[in-house]
Amino acid sequence: MASWVLSECGIRPLPRIYPKPKTGLTTNSSNPKLLRLPKLDLGCSPITFSSGLKEERNWALKVSAPVRIQQVEEEDNKQRERIIINGEFDPGAPPPFKLADIRAAIPKHCWVKDPWRSMSYVVRDVFVVFGLAAVAAYFNNWVVWPLYWFAQGTMFWALFVLGHDCGHGSFSSNPKLNSVVGHILHSSILVPYHGWRISHRTHHQNHGHVENDESWQPLSEKTFKNLDFFTKKLRFTLPFPLLAYPVYLWGRSPGKTGSHFDPNSDLFVPSERKDVITSTVCWTAMAALLVGLSFVMGPVQLLKLYGVPYLIFVMWLDLVTYLHHHGHEEKLPWYRGKEWNYMRGGLTTLDRDYGWINNIHHDIGTHVIHHLFPQIPHYHLIEATEAARPVLGKYYREPKKSGPLPFHILGVLIRSMRKDHYVSDSGDVVYYQTDPQLSGSQKSN
């Protein structure tokens, strides 16, 4: 079975992880160093940029150039004025910088993918997972089990993040290696690798878009009000939102149809169906293995060793993915129509500090740069973020510093669940509104 899975996972190179988005910026995903910039008419011979690192220039400038430069500067000044309204920063205004400016600020080595370094994290995490299970089984008492559940659930989440890097192609430049490692890691925690990879790609291509985003996107006012009260309470009352991921895999979000396991789902195009079938088979094999283990060690022991940590992992996944797009002290914009583009959507994401957990779950809290440039390996995200912050300015929202354990994020989550319920059916720049029935108040914020 193992040899079949490996051959099936690596049977052919995967399609490009990031094809051209439906709207907005066009990037070359096969080579993260390439970025096509619009040509600027300076009244002179064109200036050609290659890879953002080297330049080939024709220096035969004409005397008419200053006129066009002055026009460009005037346009930039008008754009800068738009980000200030009544003396306050407007987060929904177009920023005065380009995606190329952010890219240029990031050091060259941050783009380098080292498969040996990536694999070292896999070896580390797998060793810890089996070590924790062995220790818990050895002591087998109710003092150890709660500690084990939290630690092992967190490690399952760490395995997911490494598989997530495989899905983005930031684990290595080898598609076959990414596919094999991604299948092993994700199948072990009951995630259909290709099914999730493709829907997550859709999320990154449309982040911050009200209708087209795929993960934790806002409900429109019409969709929200058509939900029965029981469904609303489930969606916005803890702990139920933190258990949503398995349901999402099978049925997606309200207002959307399809399954991550069904190759005929509208999540996928026909050329992706074989990949989805492969991942569904791997998922089924893992589920069958767990059933077999329940007969060997007993269902209660399997529940303690695997079942409860799996639930903790699901809570981590839902918590982190939600808080990277919700819960800031100030309003975060969501976009429609002509106001949306790839960069503005990516700037609506949030970084979070998880204290000691940062290193364990591979710095996934550095989420803004990850969303803008998902090709950057996780071990370069902190450095890339520090380099980009001067360019981002107020569009980068500083995360609140955490103690050793990130207990503060629970308060952030509770406040967001009470306030962030739906967005208006109209408007190209919209913000969350509050349902008084769910917030416990008589007046919307």
Three-class DSSP labels, 343-363: HHHHCCCCCCCCCCHHHHCCC
* Together in a domain, 186 and 150: yes
Q: What's the CA gap between 297 and 318, in Å, rounded?
A: 30
* HSE-up of residue 253 (Cα within 13 Å, Cβ side): 18
Helices 193-205 and 144-168: angle between axes, nearest 10 degrees: 70
Three-class DSSP category at 47: strand
Give the strand pairing for 54-57 and 47-50: antiparallel
Among 71, 97, 123, the domain boundary falls at 97
Q: Which two tokens stand for residue 332?
A: 């975060």
Strand partners, 84: 89
Do residues 163 and 181 make contact, with C-beta atoms less than 8 angstroms apart?
Answer: yes
Q: Do 434 and 318 share a structural domain?
A: yes
Within this chain, do residues 91 and 136 fall inside the same structural domain, yes or no? Answer: no
- Residues contacting 180, CB < 8 A, separation 6+: 6, 9, 10
User: Is the domain of 76 the same as that of 119?
Assistant: no
In terms of C-beta density within 10 A (0-12 exposed, 13-18 middle, 19 or more buried), how is residue 444 classed?
Answer: exposed
Measuring CA to CA, which residue among 257, 217, 213 is closest to residue 23? Answer: 213
| Tens-place pLDDT, residues 206-240 | 999 999 998 888 999 999 999 888 888 888 999 99
Residue 411 placed within a domain = yes
Residue 149 lies in a domain: yes
Residue 1 pLDDT: 44
Q: How far is it, in rounded angstroms, from Cα 151 to Cα 156?
A: 9
**In one letter, which amino acid is 123?**
V
In a domain, 41, yes or no: no
91 with 120, same domain?
no
Do 296 and 220 share a domain, yes or no? Answer: yes
Question: Which two tokens mark 316?
Answer: 């981590």
CB 29 within 8 A of CB 16: yes
146 shares its domain with 216: yes
H helical segments located in 215-351: 221-226, 229-236, 245-251, 273-297, 299-302, 308-323, 342-346
| 236 shares a domain with 371 | yes
> Rounded to the nearest 10 degrees, what angle do helices 408-419 and 308-323 cross at?
70
Give the model's pLDDT for residue 372. 97
**Does an H or E element contain 49, and which?**
strand 47-50
Is residue 24 in a domain? no
The per-residue pLDDT for 84 is 55
- Among 390, 310, 358, residue whose Cα is nearest residue 101: 390
Asked if residue 243 and residue 368 are part of one domain, the reply reads: yes
> Which residue matches tokens 């930039």?
76
Do 275 and 370 lie in one domain? The reply is: yes
What pLDDT digit, counting tens, does each position of 45-72 carry?
343 434 443 333 333 333 333 444 344 4
Alpha carbon 335 to chain centroid, angstroms:
17
pTM of the full structure = 0.80
pLDDT computed for residue 258 by the predictor: 87
203 falls within a domain: yes
How many Å from the N-terminal Cα to the C-terminal Cα in the chain?
56
Q: Which of 97, 129, 158 is the last residue of a domain?
A: 97
Residue 3, Cα to own-chain centre: how many angstroms? Answer: 31
- Domain of 289? 108-439
Same domain, 178 and 295: yes
pLDDT of residue 184: 98
Considering the domain boundaries, does residue 205 fall inside one? yes
What span, in angstroms and rounded, lies between the C-alpha atoms of 254 and 246?
A: 14
Give the integer Cα–Cα distance in Å for 269 and 257. 15
Residue 28: inside a domain, yes or no? no
CA separation for the pair 323, 316 (Å, rounded): 11
276 alpha-carbon distance from chain centroid:
20
Number of domains in the chain: 2
Q: Is 26 buried (19+), middle (13-18) or exposed (0-12) by CB count in 10 A?
A: exposed
Q: Of the candidates 97, 119, 137, which is a domain's last residue?
A: 97
Query: What is the signed CA dihedral for 78, 80, 84, 87, rounded to 10 degrees?
Result: -90
For 59-86, letters b (16+ CB in 10 Å) and e give eeeeeeeeeeeeeeeeeeeeeeeebeee
Q: Is residue 271 part of a domain?
A: yes
Q: Are residues 389 and 284 in the same domain?
A: yes
* Residue 179 neighbours by CB under 8 Å, 6+ apart: 9, 10, 14, 166, 193
Residues of the chain with pLDDT below 70 are 1-87, 440-445
Phi, psi of 433 (to 5 degrees): -115, 165
Which class for 39: exposed (0-12), middle (13-18), buried (19 or more C-beta within 10 A)?
Answer: exposed
